[in-house]
Amino acid sequence: MIQAEPITKTTWRIRGCGCDCYLVDGEVPALIDCGCGEVQIRQFCEALIQKPVRTVICTHAHIDHTGQCGLFDQVYMTERTAASSRNAMDEDPAKLHLEYAPVFVQDHQILKLGQRCLEILRCDCHAPGNIVILDHTERILYAGDELDADQVLLLPGFAEKAGQFHSAPAATVSDYRRLLIQLDQRCGEFDWICTGHNGSPLKPEVLTVMIELCDRILAIPGISTTQTYISLNEAFQRQIYVDCLHD
């Protein structure tokens, strides 16, 4: 069942549509990620704030984040994301909305939604072409699936052409660690991290936790720094969260 929860007075977390999406209200409302399934998320968002929501910004290509893009007039994503964003994966294509013309965004590009400024930050770790979005106005980092309260998957690129299984190798744990350090260097610019799954918002301190987790994984004998597929949901991770994040 689709539900809305306020994060700030002008930011809503939308749940129950495949992933957690974020409605950014203001003069020019926009949705960050749009989920999938039978729920008409645009109609739900417009009823919630009583104004048109014409724009969606997608963090990455996975269908649980892009399956309703065709409901919107303007769809922002990276060019690499667009290459595989119509891959239905294990969803029923008949329930998806995949007809749209994406507008490509670039690293460090600023999207101005009226007085609200969103900065695009390219990541390429959870999926090729992946971005996170820094909301300078509300001091929120929308992380998609690059951060999570349970696990982070470093996945290879999903098929972009017929007959193809993977289009690109996954990022390494070392790649992910470098990304975390880059985000941590900007942690003074946001107060919360809003994720695509498993509980949100998170404190910025989660970046330090995840850097430590990467270090511990890379220190395990036999783990290669170039390993291309690894879940960060190791047995010790949950205890790290309990020790470092819970009040």
3-class SS at 233?
coil
Strands ordered across the beta sheet of 11-15: 3-8, 11-15, 21-24, 30-32, 55-57, 74-77, 102-104
Report the C-alpha gap between 23 and 14 in whole angstroms.
7
pLDDT tens-digit series, residues 219-239: 877 665 554 444 444 433 444
d(CA 73, CA 55) in angstroms, rounded, equals 6
Between 125 and 231, name the one with better pLDDT.
Answer: 125
CA distance 225 to 62: 26
Cβ–Cβ under 8 Å, residues 130 and 180:
no
pLDDT at 212: 87
pLDDT at 225: 54
pLDDT grade, residue 151 (50/70/90)?
confident
The lowest-confidence range among 109-113, 138-142, 153-157, 218-222 is 218-222
Give the pLDDT confidence score for residue 67 in this predicted structure: 95
Omega cis (within 30) before 128: no
User: What is the rounded CA–CA span in Å between residue 25 and residue 106?
Assistant: 23
For residue 173, which phi and psi values (nearest 5 degrees)?
A: -65, -35
Secondary structure of the chain: what % helix, strand, coil (to 5)? 25, 25, 50
Q: Which two tokens stand for residue 204?
A: 């910025």
Confidence of residue 41 (pLDDT cuts 50, 70, 90): very high
Report pLDDT for 89: 85
Task: Average the pLDDT over 130-139 and give the result.
Answer: 97
Give the per-residue pLDDT at 35.
94
For the chain, state the CA radius of gyration: 17
Percentage with pLDDT > 90 across the chain: 65
Specify whether the CB–CB gap between 171 and 124 falls below 8 A.
yes
Question: pLDDT: is 193 or 238 the higher one?
Answer: 193
Tokens of 78: 């990276």
Q: Which amino acid is at 102?
A: P
Examine the pLDDT at 32 and tell me if it is beyond 70: yes
Q: Is 57's pLDDT higher than 60?
A: yes
